[in-house]
């Protein structure tokens, strides 16, 4: 029976993103693909499937990049069981509870990217521009995935050739992990290959749900900042990061949205600020896959009957507050008061405060919940559907990474920091209160004993502070603190310096060999995507 899918690894429809018409094709696996790669349409379909497969990992991308930091950790205000996710902010994950198993299942995607790279390099079916664009996407995505693996596990297995046909050799795949330095070298090689393949094409050819040269350039900036700060690259790497980010700034056709909330609005997808995002589409994909956003970040409707908003209006009486979810990740209560300054629009665009009426008629603050992604109520539905696109890279990120590169090079980062702040406060307020909110003036008593951020006296604290305010729920805070250095990790999280890397579930190991460089086990992958 014929099916519309690419590989048994991908297991997603070629109709993903609604960019492919119905295709009648033989099933294809990574073991036998003799009947595939016969037309340009098949390459296009496979490219669509690659992006779909990466999108399936969106929840893992969030978990690796954010919850171990200082955003979550309180008990859900509705009383829900956290079901183990409290281990992330408490940093009590271990071999018995890794949180993320089998290296986030990223190797499935890597294997398919390896296949795409090989077949695209070999084919004569594609014109040169199309061929190069596919290669630019594939090399860039592979670098992006290995960057996640590097930051999370350090030494990991490097494989750049697909397991295909009679070349499949399971014993060959049982190989030792490569040192983190070699993994970083491969990431940089893939970035260069991606940039070279894209050439002068800065377009978003298939939309911003697909990889692009802009995505590779911001990745390059982030990678070289990590390499410079964490792996001894120093000034040379900072300069490379700066050049990549300035290239993006000049040629990426990007700009900040006028309003912070417009960036994430359901009716404003693929706007001028988005570089790369995971698309959500009705009857195809919801945020974080299989209702993971709804069942981790959204209050239960029944519980909201007991609470009101800041005006004292019960949530159940407010049009549009048709929540039907579960709270697992409770944002720390103090974030509502201690992270955002007065008149910063990012507060109400990020968090919603929950209050409870008291017997004397007053209202008491209880807790906040995530309000950056608000979903939409579809016609004929009585509940919200979380069909917002999930941004991976956006222009505000590029500006703050550029500010970081400049600061590390001893240059003035005020232009980039203040561009983000001006959008947050609005131009009128910002220009009237520069002595209070413009860099380097945001300091003073607000930051005394502040558990989340510091004043502008320290430029690194200023950039970290802006990134915290800007990127709640976008999977960046843990990675940011790790990149800035252990002193920031230890200051703002519960993590121990000797346990910054992720533990590995035992099912993913076939051998253990101590690695003194990273203070964790070298891994041998027991079974590569064979499920």
Task: Name the nearest CA neighbour of 223 among 279, 145, 163, 161.
Answer: 145
Cα atoms in the Cβ-side hemisphere of radius 13 Å centred on 520: 25
Q: What is the pTM of this model?
A: 0.90
SS3 content of the chain, % helix, strand, coil (to 5): 45, 10, 45
Structure tokens at 201: 């094409």
The pLDDT, as a whole number, for residue 167 is 42
What is the per-residue pLDDT across 4-29, written as a single tens digit (0 to 9) for each?
Answer: 233 333 333 333 333 332 222 233 44
Q: Which carries the bigger pLDDT value, residue 379 or residue 520?
A: 379
Q: Is the CB of residue 49 less than 8 Å from the CB of residue 115?
A: no
Give the per-residue pLDDT at 1: 30
Q: How far is CA 355 from CA 169, 311, 315, 361, 509, in A?
A: 59, 9, 10, 12, 48
Cβ-based neighbour number of residue 80 at 10 Å: 18
Question: Is the confidence at residue 323, as pLDDT, over 90?
Answer: no
Q: pLDDT grade, residue 509 (50/70/90)? A: low
How many CB atoms lie under 10 A from the CB of residue 358?
A: 9
φ/ψ of 392, rounded to 5, equals: -100, -45
Q: What is the pLDDT of residues 178-202, one digit of tens each?
A: 999 999 999 999 999 999 999 999 9
pLDDT category of residue 50 using cuts at 50, 70 and 90: very high
Indicate the SS3 state at residue 140. helix
- Which helix (H) or strand (E) element contains residue 366? strand 363-370
Calpha distance 208→275 (Å, rounded): 6
**Hey, is 176 helix, strand or coil?**
strand
Task: Please spell the DSSP secondary structure of 234-287, one letter per residue.
Answer: HHHHHHHHHHHHHHHHHHS-----SSGGGGT-GGGTT-TTEEEEE--BTTTB-T
Write down the pLDDT at residue 174: 63
* Confidence at residue 515, expressed as pLDDT on a 0 to 100 scale: 37
**Angle, helix 213-230 to helix 128-153, in steps of 10 degrees:** 30
What pLDDT was estimated at residue 320?
A: 81
CB 320 within 8 A of CB 375: no
User: Which own/partner pairs from 402-405 qualify as long-range (CB within 8 Å, at least 24 positions apart)?
Assistant: 402/221, 402/242, 402/245, 402/246, 402/249, 403/463, 403/466, 404/225, 404/460, 404/463, 405/221, 405/225, 405/238, 405/239, 405/241, 405/242, 405/245
Residue 516, pLDDT above cutoff 70? no
Name the residue among 346, 30, 362, 51 with its Cα closest to residue 173: 30
The DSSP code sequence of 188-203 is: HHHHHHHHHHHTT---
Pick the CATH number of 1-66+101-201+501-531 from 1.25.40.390, 1.20.58.340, 3.30.70.100, 2.40.50.1020: 1.25.40.390
Rounded to whole angstroms, the Cα distance separating 500 from 147 reads 16
pLDDT digits (tens, 9 = 90+) for 139-181: 999 999 999 999 999 999 999 998 764 443 333 456 788 999 9
Mean pLDDT for 276-289 is 95
Cα torsion for 214, 216, 220, 226, to the nearest 10°?
A: 110
Q: At 254, is the pLDDT very low, low, confident or very high (cuts 50, 70, 90)? A: very high
Residue intervals in the chain for CATH 1.25.40.390? 1-66+101-201+501-531
Instruction: Give the position of tokens 């070279």.
Output: 196
Residue 276: CB atoms within 10 Å: 24
The mean pLDDT value for 387-415 works out to: 98
**Chain segment 69-112, per-residue pLDDT in tens:** 999 999 999 889 999 999 999 999 998 889 998 899 999 999 99
Nearest to 306 by CA among 314, 318, 297: 314
Give me 528's structure tokens: 């590569």
Q: With cut-offs at 50, 70 and 90, classify the pLDDT of residue 322.
A: confident
Q: Sorting pLDDT into bands at 50, 70 and 90, what band is 381?
A: confident
Q: How confident is the model at residue 414 (pLDDT cuts 50, 70, 90)?
A: very high
Question: Any idea which of 129-133, 323-327, 472-476 has the lowest mean pLDDT?
Answer: 323-327
pLDDT value for 324: 86
pLDDT tier for residue 423 given thresholds of 50, 70 and 90: very high
* Per-chain mean pLDDT for the chain: 88
């Amino acid at each position: 029976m014929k099916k519309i899918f690419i590989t048994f690894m991908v297991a997603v429809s070629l109709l993903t993103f609604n960019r492919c018409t119905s295709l009648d094709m033989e099933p294809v696996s990574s073991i036998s693909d003799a009947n595939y790669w016969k037309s340009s349409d098949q390459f296009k379909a496979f490219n669509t499937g690659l992006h779909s497969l990466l999108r399936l990992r969106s929840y893992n991308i969030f978990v690796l990049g954010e919850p171990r930091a200082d955003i979550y950790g309180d008990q859900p205000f509705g009383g829900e069981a956290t079901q183990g996710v409290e281990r992330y902010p408490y940093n009590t994950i271990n071999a018995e509870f890794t949180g993320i198993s089998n290296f986030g299942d990223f190797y499935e995607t890597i294997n398919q990217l390896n296949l795409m790279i090989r077949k695209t390099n070999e084919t004569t079916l594609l014109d040169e521009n199309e061929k190069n664009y596919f290669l630019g996407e594939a090399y860039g995505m592979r670098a992006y995935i290995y960057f996640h693996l590097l930051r999370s596990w350090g030494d990991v297995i490097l494989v750049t050739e697909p397991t295909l046909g009679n070349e499949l050799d399971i014993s060959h795949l049982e190989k030792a992990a490569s040192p983190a330095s070699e993994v970083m070298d491969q990431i940089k090689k893939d970035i260069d290959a991606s940039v070279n393949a894209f050439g002068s094409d800065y377009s978003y050819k298939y939309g911003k749900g697909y990889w692009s040269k802009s995505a590779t350039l911001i990745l390059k900036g982030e990678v070289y900042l990590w390499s410079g700060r964490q792996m001894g690259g120093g000034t040379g790497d900072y300069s490379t990061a700066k050049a990549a980010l300035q290239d993006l700034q000049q040629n990426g056709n990007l700009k900040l949205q006028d309003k912070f909330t417009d960036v994430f609005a359901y009716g404003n997808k693929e706007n001028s600020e988005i570089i790369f995002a995971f698309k959500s589409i009705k009857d195809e994909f919801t945020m974080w896959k299989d209702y993971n956003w709804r069942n981790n970040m959204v209050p239960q409707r029944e519980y909201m009957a007991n609470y009101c908003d800041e005006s004292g209006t019960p949530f159940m009486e407010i049009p549009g507050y048709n929540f039907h979810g579960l709270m697992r990740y409770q944002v720390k209560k103090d974030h509502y008061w201690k992270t955002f300054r007065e008149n910063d629009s990012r507060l109400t665009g990020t968090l919603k405060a929950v209050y409870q009426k008291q017997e004397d008629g007053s209202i008491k603050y209880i807790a906040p919940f995530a309000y950056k992604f608000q979903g939409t109520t579809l016609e004929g539905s009585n509940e919200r559907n979380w069909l917002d696109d999930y941004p991976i890279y956006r222009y505000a990120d590029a500006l703050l990474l550029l500010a970081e590169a400049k600061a590390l090079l001893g240059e003035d980062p005020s232009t980039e920091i203040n561009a983000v702040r001006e959008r947050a406060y609005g131009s009128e307020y910002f220009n009237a209160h520069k002595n209070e909110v413009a860099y380097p003036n945001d300091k003073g008593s607000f930051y005394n004993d502040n558990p989340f951020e510091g004043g502008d006296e320290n430029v690194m604290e200023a950039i970290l502070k802006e990134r915290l305010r800007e990127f709640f729920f976008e999977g960046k805070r843990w990675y940011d603190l790790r990149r800035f250095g252990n002193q920031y990790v230890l200051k703002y999280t519960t993590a121990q310096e000797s346990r910054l890397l992720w533990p590995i579930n035992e099912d993913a190991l076939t051998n253990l060999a101590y690695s003194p460089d990273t203070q964790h086990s070298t891994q041998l992958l027991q079974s590569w995507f064979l499920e």
